[in-house]
Copies of this chain bind each other. A is one copy, B any other.
Amino acid sequence: MKRRGWAVGIDFGGTNVKIGLLNASHRVIRVQVLASREVGHPGGFVDAVVQTITALTQSVGLRPSQLRGVGIGVPGLVDTTRGIAHGLTNLPGWHEVSLRRLLEHRLRCRCLIDNDANLYALGEWRCGAGRGARDIVCLTLGTGVGGGLIFNGELYRGGADAAGEIGHMVVDPRGRRCACGSRGCLEAHVGTAAILSIARRAIRQGGGPLRTLAYQSRGSLTPELVSRAARAGDVAARRIWIDVGCWLGRGVANLVNLLNPERVIIGGGVSKAWGLFAPTLKQTVRGQAMGVSARSAKLCRAQLGNSAGIVGAAVLVWNECGDKGRGAD
């Protein structure tokens, strides 16, 4: 029995490798999560992926070769045409790896690789907050601040598959020092490191719920903890999220002026604090962006949560390998 509409989407992150099996109706049927550290080097990764995909497909009575294809999102620079990972952020040993060739040889089905932020945008566009729109900017807020762009109803990758570095847009040339060497990058103001560094300073300087929560968590400070403190009325923590909204708003206003997108979708771990920073974000964009573009851009939260990466990777397969079988299963 052929079920050519089915696809596997892989989200290769710094911590986990999520592998999902999706049916022709774009529904996630099975998910398996592996620890990135254990499968980190290319050989181990290919072995683990082949084994997992074989098990996942078997569990629904399929063979890997019966899949429409396998899509993989990786954190780093890729050559999407040749299926090569040039190098992966925070994962040593990945240099010019022909991931597509290695996997296609073992799985005997089409394999496609792309940058994780691109696939995040593709997933939200086809199955999440971007459905029905033609021009989208998607931001992922976390340790890094990434971006994916959909223009004229198509994923936009740029001349060297490197587009979307929204995190390194300079929003203040005299701003905070960024890990990239520049000063005042958006990431240096709204990335996890910035949020935690400002929170640590606030804890040293004052009391309040933030200090209590940090003490209770034994020093393992996270953006979630800063959110909880803000919701519990901590003034410094609230200020942190207002500042995040303000800096993010400045970056988004630039994007809105430049690209006049129909939607700006905000996702990633830090976006869980949406309710705390969104009012300032929206106010800043309205204040700084030009009239028509500001009015026509809807700022919204990503909808796919943790499965955005695997859904996006599967959408890549349906897009590039045809989607005629959709719903035919």
On A, residues with C-beta under 8 Å from B are 77, 133-135, 147, 149, 151-152, 154, 156-166, 168-174, 180, 182, 250, 253-255, 257-262, 288, 290, 292-293, 295-297
For A166, the closest partner residue in chain B by CB is B258
For A156, the closest partner residue in chain B by CB is B151
Q: Considering residues A147, A159, A169, A255, which has the most beta carbons from chain B within 10 angstroms of its beta carbon?
A: A159
- In the bound complex, residues from chain B placing their C-beta under 8 Å from that of A173 are 171-172, 250
Distance of A261 Cα from B149 Cα, bound (Å): 13
Give the contacting residue for A254; candidates B151, B170, B260, B262; CB below 8 A.
B170
Q: Is the interface of A mostly helix, strand, loop or mixed?
A: loop
- In the bound complex, residues from chain B placing their C-beta under 8 Å from that of A257 are 165-166, 168-169
For A160, the closest partner residue in chain B by CB is B296
List 13 other contacts, CB 8 Å, given A159-B261, A164-B260, A170-B171.
A135-B156, A147-B258, A157-B260, A159-B297, A160-B295, A163-B260, A163-B293, A170-B250, A170-B253, A170-B288, A171-B173, A172-B174, A173-B250
B290 touches A159 (CB 8 A): no
Known: A168-B257, A288-B170. A162 touches B293 (CB 8 A): yes
CB distance from A295 to the nearest CB of B (A): 8
Distance of A156 Cα from B134 Cα, bound (Å): 11
Distance of A163 Cα from B257 Cα, bound (Å): 7
Give the contacting residue for A154; candidates B152, B158, B182, B295; CB below 8 A.
B152
Distance of A77 Cα from B258 Cα, bound (Å): 14
Give the contacting residue for A296; candidates B133, B134, B162, B164; CB below 8 A.
B162
For A292, the closest partner residue in chain B by CB is B162
Distance of A156 Cα from B149 Cα, bound (Å): 12
- In the bound complex, residues from chain B placing their C-beta under 8 Å from that of A156 are 135, 151-152, 259
- In the bound complex, residues from chain B placing their C-beta under 8 Å from that of A162 are 260, 290, 292-293, 296
Known: A135-B158, A152-B152. A163 touches B259 (CB 8 A): yes
B253 touches A165 (CB 8 A): no
B158 touches A259 (CB 8 A): yes
Distance of A164 Cα from B258 Cα, bound (Å): 5
Distance of A157 Cα from B259 Cα, bound (Å): 8
B174 touches A159 (CB 8 A): no
A-B contact pairs, 22 of them (CB 8 A): A134-B159, A135-B158, A135-B163, A147-B258, A152-B152, A157-B260, A158-B261, A159-B262, A159-B296, A160-B295, A162-B290, A163-B259, A165-B258, A165-B260, A165-B290, A168-B257, A170-B171, A172-B172, A172-B173, A172-B174, A174-B174, A182-B288
The 3 A-B pairs with the shortest beta carbon distances in the complex, nearest first, are A158-B260, A159-B262, A163-B260
Distance of A74 Cα from B71 Cα, bound (Å): 44
Q: Considering residues A255, A259, A296, which has the most beta carbons from chain B within 10 angstroms of its beta carbon?
A: A259
